[in-house]
């Protein structure tokens, strides 16, 4: 095990049947490894093999959260006064360390949350890309010099940090998303209290250790573990107590709205990246094979556990039958299993028992609405498994891929996010109807259209109400230098990633520097410029 994971970890005795160790993990508060104030713990379990315990972690109390906030507040003054290029250099060091430890982090993430090795590799790379992008932004944290309307006076604008940021991210992207949040936050001079996802505490612990190994001063990022109803809620309560200056949250719309209410009544900034019911439209001019591949990946990659996963597959009636025949061939051949043991798996387990139970409840909506299930049979077990399943299904938390057709706009399943391997299929009469259907859900995160008609592509990207749109590509996928986020019930308008995220972690400070030695008042002491009274003889000019 690499030193960055070994340092500060203790191994504990368990009934673990695996060769890999179960470790004792800690909070990291002001650079110190700490247990919960009342010493209570919870376990991190491999969802591909529930006999495999990765570690035992602190179930943080309110006192633990307050200690982490105090550490962040104490570190703020020195960190915010550290030159931005120096902060950027530390962030660059993080990126290089992530490169060094990429292979072990990929395996750790795959083991802890069940995503495929390939997907985990892409996600760790996203964290690396984020670090390398923001390293240079430390030299471009620009303000402006503005001309004054008065003589002997200079005007400036500066970006200033907000203060202490509470960071809460979900477990489906446990490395990319916290880096999307914390890297720009600390680059702007903020300090953070990071509440790790309950289902990915060991990976979070490893990432936090890497951050400190990169040269991050103690107290700048403080890691606390626990449940959303415990540690997460204590962090939100701290907004009401005047201890937190910013909340950044990725998760469900319901929880996001509650966080927004708390932040709103306290005039505290919040970034909310929430759910989606992402539409993918296929038109007759589309490359059919490409569209099938894109829809298949969007619907079932990561077992459908992305906020950008395909929700409503909207097919033009002229190509409906042809598309569905090809699409269902791929669905029925889906390879499912633990990718650390078997090659070529499209997806692995659900993230945890909770996500599995929530998904099974959600797909009941489709059946209640009268949608026609053409494939899928709930949870996979030894007596109920598709041909493409690999491994022992009774050891893990695996789901069939599900497809529902005959879905219409008046059904609840058209509007509700299912968050799992399920796609609802909708038939469109023409382009205008398809665009209407794409806009009809209460969400607006991601969207896609497959068409080779350039006017249709133009009208779709102009008419869709979503934060992100792909043309001839999947609904899922993001790059580190593009803004990520949605509209409507998918977020509050803030963005992750790229230069745009700097707006979410800083405020503009306007400064006027009076050099004249006297009081000069804008708008009142400005000399008026009189226009010339000379008249022009327009006739001579014609």
231-271 confidence digits (pLDDT tens) = 999 999 999 999 999 999 999 999 999 999 999 999 999 99
- For residue 542, being part of any structural domain is answered with no
- For 77-89, the pLDDT digits (tens) are 999 999 999 999 9
**CA 292 – CA 313 distance, rounded (Å):** 11
Same domain, 414 and 437: yes
**CA 152 – CA 142 distance, rounded (Å):** 23
Is the per-residue pLDDT at 12 higher than 60?
no
Same domain, 245 and 354: no
Given 123, 273, 416, 456, which residue is catalytic? 273
Given 53, 131, 307, 413, which residue is catalytic? 307
Averaged over 430-455, what is the pLDDT?
98
SS3 label, residue 459: helix
Q: Is 149 a catalytic residue?
A: no
- For residue 240, being part of any structural domain is answered with yes
Same domain, 391 and 500: no
**CA 512 – CA 8 distance, rounded (Å):** 50
Pick from 506, 326, 514, 355: nearest CA to 419: 355
- For residue 541, being part of any structural domain is answered with no
In this structure, what CATH number is given to the domain that contains residue 190?
3.40.605.10
Pick from 75, 88, 81, 53: nearest CA to 183: 88
Same domain, 157 and 286: no
- For 380-405, the pLDDT digits (tens) are 999 999 999 999 999 999 999 999 99
- For residue 515, being part of any structural domain is answered with no
Q: Is 165 a catalytic residue?
A: no
Average of per-residue pLDDT values in the chain: 95
Averaged over 274-296, what is the pLDDT?
98
Same domain, 444 and 397: yes
Pick from 362, 439, 466, 434: nearest CA to 404: 362
- For residue 491, being part of any structural domain is answered with no
- For residue 185, being part of any structural domain is answered with yes
337 DSSP assignment? S
- E strands present in 360-459: 372-375, 402-405, 422-428, 443-444, 446-450
- For residue 486, being part of any structural domain is answered with no
Q: Which domain holds residue 247?
A: 11-274+496-505
Q: What confidence score (pLDDT) does residue 80 get?
A: 98
- E strands present in 40-195: 41-45, 53-58, 144-147, 153-161, 164-168, 191-195
Same domain, 47 and 140: yes
Contact criterion met (CB below 8 Å) for 341 and 107: no
Is the per-residue pLDDT at 375 higher than 60?
yes
**CA 95 – CA 183 distance, rounded (Å):** 10
Q: How many domains does the chain have?
A: 2
Query: 511 has which bridge partners?
Result: 156
């Amino acid at each position: 095990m690499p030193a960055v994971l070994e340092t500060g970890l203790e191994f504990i005795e368990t009934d673990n049947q695996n060769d890999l160790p179960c470790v004792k993990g800690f909070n990291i508060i002001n650079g110190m490894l700490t247990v919960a104030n009342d010493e209570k713990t919870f376990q991190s379990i491999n969802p591909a093999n529930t006999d495999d315990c990765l570690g035992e972690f602190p179930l943080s109390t309110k006192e633990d959260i307050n200690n982490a906030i105090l550490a962040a507040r104490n570190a703020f003054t020195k960190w915010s006064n550290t030159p931005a290029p120096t902060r950027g250099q530390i962030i660059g060091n993080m990126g290089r360390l992530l490169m060094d430890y990429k292979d072990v982090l990929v395996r750790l993430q795959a083991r802890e949350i069940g995503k495929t090795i390939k997907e985990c590799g892409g996600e760790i790379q996203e964290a690396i890309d984020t670090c390398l992008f923001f390293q240079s932004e430390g030299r471009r944290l620009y303000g402006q010099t503005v001309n004054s309307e008065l003589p002997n006076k200079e005007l400036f604008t500066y970006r200033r940090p907000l203060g202490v940021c509470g960071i809460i991210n979900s477990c489906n992207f446990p490395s990319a998303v916290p880096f999307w949040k914390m890297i720009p936050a600390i680059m702007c001079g903020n300090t953070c209290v990071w509440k790790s996802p309950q289902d990915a505490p060991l990976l979070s612990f490893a990432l936090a250790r890497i951050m400190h190994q990169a040269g991050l001063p103690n107290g700048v990022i403080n890691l606390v573990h626990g449940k959303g109803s415990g540690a997460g809620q204590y962090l939100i309560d701290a907004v009401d107590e005047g201890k937190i200056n910013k909340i950044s949250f990725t998760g469900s719309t319901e929880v996001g709205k509650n966080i927004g209410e708390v932040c709103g009544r306290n005039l505290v900034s919040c970034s909310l990246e929430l759910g989606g019911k992402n539409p993918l439209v296929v038109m007759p001019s589309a490359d059919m094979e490409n569209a099938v591949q894109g829809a298949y990946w969007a619907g079932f990659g990561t077992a459908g556990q992305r906020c950008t996963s395909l929700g409503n597959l909207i097919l033009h009636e002229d190509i409906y039958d042809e598309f569905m025949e090809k699409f269902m061939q791929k669905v029925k051949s889906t390879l499912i299993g633990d990718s650390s043991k078997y090659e070529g798996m499209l997806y692995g387990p659900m993230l945890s028992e909770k996500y599995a139970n929530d998904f099974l409840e959600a797909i009941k909506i489709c059946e209640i609405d009268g949608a026609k299930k053409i494939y899928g049979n709930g949870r996979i077990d030894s007596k109920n498994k598709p041909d493409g399943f690999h491994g022992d299904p009774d050891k893990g938390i695996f789901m069939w891929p599900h497809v529902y057709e005959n879905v219409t706009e008046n059904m609840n399943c058209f509007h509700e996010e299912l968050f799992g391997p399920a796609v609802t299929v909708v038939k469109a009469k023409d382009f205008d109807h398809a665009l209407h259907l794409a806009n009809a859900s209460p969400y607006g995160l991601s969207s896609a259209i497959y068409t080779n008609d350039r006017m249709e592509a133009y009208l779709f990207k102009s008419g869709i109400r979503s934060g992100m749109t792909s043309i001839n590509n999947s609904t899922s996928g993001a790059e580190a230098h593009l803004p990520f986020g949605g509209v409507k019930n998918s977020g509050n308008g803030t963005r992750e990633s790229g230069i745009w995220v700097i707006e979410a972690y800083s405020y503009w400070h306007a400064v006027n520097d009076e050099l004249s030695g006297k009081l000069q008042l804008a708008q009142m002491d400005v000399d008026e410029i009189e226009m010339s009274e000379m008249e022009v003889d327009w006739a001579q000019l014609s």
